[in-house]
Amino acid sequence: MGSLAEALVERFSFLWIFEGCVPFLRISPVLPGVRGADLKKYVIHGGRPLYGKVDISGAKNAAVGIIPAALLVEGPCRIENIPAISDVDLLLNILRDLGATVRMINRTTVEVDCTGARCMAVPYDAGRKLRASYYLLGAMLGRFGEAEVPLPGGCDFGSRPIDQHLKGFAALGAEVEVEKGYMCAKAQGGRMKGSQIYLDVASVGATMNLMLAAVLAQGTTIIENTAKEPHIVDLANFLNSMGAEITGAGTDVIKIRGVDKLRGGEYSIIPDQIEAGTYMAAVTAAGGEVRVCNVIPKHLECITAKLLEMGAEVEEQGDSLIVRRTGPLQRTNVKTMFYPGFPTDMHPQIAAVLCLARGTSVITEGVWDNRYRYTEEFRRLGAKIQVDGKIAIIEGVEKLTGAPMEACDLRAGAGMIIAGLAAQGTSEISNVKHIERGYEDIIGKLSGIGADIRTVDVPDPERGKVSAVG
């Protein structure tokens, strides 16, 4: 009962799903009627090196594509190594709303049966809360030949058009219109038809969405200039394990032979490249030695290379990396690119490390328009950062000093945590809902490697306005 009481204090809600007489527990990130993570902040007492080991969860960017893909599968589909994050909870709840049976087997395994799913509009409030809701468009078009999905939400760091998605859907025989905040799509003849598609930009989202739409299409689809990220390969492997015929994932040309149906099965999601990179950056910034467990080292080579340039040591041991940093940090230049280049989702985290590096570093953002809102928060700690367009110039300082910060998006929030861990004194981070979209138990994992970080409740300004009941 003690653990349940603690969870309630943390403002989590619990959804009990009964299969026969066996209960399964799922933690939902927002208590109905309460703003959940909006009412929390992280408090960090920085300046402590990190020691120990940390286990990496399943990949967020893979999970948010694979869960919608379950709509294409007839029969029970067991997905293992799912991360316990709010984006995953939202997607699973959307599948329930569409008529799917969702059963939590344990903390990291879910069984989804979409056999009874219905073609209906995705609930507006749920769909608009996350960027990955657009994968439901491709999955529903593939399954039902039509779809109504709210325009996507998620982090705001510049223009993220979905024109390549729409171009591909049109090539596959669908018409898409935007009405009253919804993307409304319908395939001519009720089923998508194979086609040849060239993406003007190697978009990760478009690549995955078109794979979903084409798996059950009539004929063969060839997608050229595709993105190569590990989670694209993971989605292809998931679909193939259920009976799809996809080749070329991880290259710039993907070929999809449409099949009549997908069957149920089991699949385990890959470890999270960005979560692993975040903890590697944290050790590099704060100092110490940490074993980062349950990783695919190949996926991390682009991150490892930069940390080595900055003075960290990285040792590969099977599915683990030992990261240590004892000496001074050195400057380097970073340009974010599509995989296998340095990932844009590691931009704010590496910037936090460079704030303490000797000399002047340059970061060039090669993917998104507006990644730099975090810089205002870093300056509160004493960082010296100047931004000009897509370029940031960082002059390293001897120390950062703790200060209040506000997370403006998922990866910016992770960067602020790293900066707070490396800073002297106390830092507070508000608006942590962004961080909890993509990092499972980040407070527990950091505490486990020696960080002095905790969650505290923020008084609800509306509470005093509500009349007492009972």
Active site residues: 155
- Distances 129 to 58, 84, 126, 134, 415 between C-alpha atoms, Å: 21, 17, 6, 11, 22
Residue with tokens 């408090």: 43
**Residue whose C-alpha is closest to residue 40's, from 447, 443, 449:** 443
Q: What's the angle, vertex CA 44, arms to CA 441 and CA 391, rounded to 5?
A: 90
- The token duo for 12 is 């989590």
Q: What is the number of H-type helices and E-type strands within the chain? A: 15, 25
Catalogue the long-range contacts made by 8-17 (C-beta closer than 8 Å, 24 or more residues apart): 9/457, 10/40, 10/455, 11/36, 11/39, 11/40, 11/457, 12/36, 17/102, 17/103, 17/104
Note whether 215 and 246 are within 8 A (CB). yes
Residues 202, 153: Cα–Cα separation, whole Å: 21
Taking the C-alpha atoms of residue 305 and residue 457, their distance in angstroms, rounded to an integer, is: 39
> Who's near 261: CB < 8 A, 6+ residues apart?
74, 216, 243
Contact criterion met (CB below 8 Å) for 352 and 415: yes
Over 64-116, what HEC string results?
A: HHHHHHHHHEEEEEEEECCCCCHHHHHHHHHHHHCCCEEEEEECCEEEEECCC
Alpha carbon of residue 181 to chain centroid? 23
- What's the CA gap between 297 and 276, in Å, rounded? 10
Would you say 12 and 84 are in contact if contact means Cβ atoms under 8 Å apart? no
In the block, residue with structure tokens 């509160």: 380
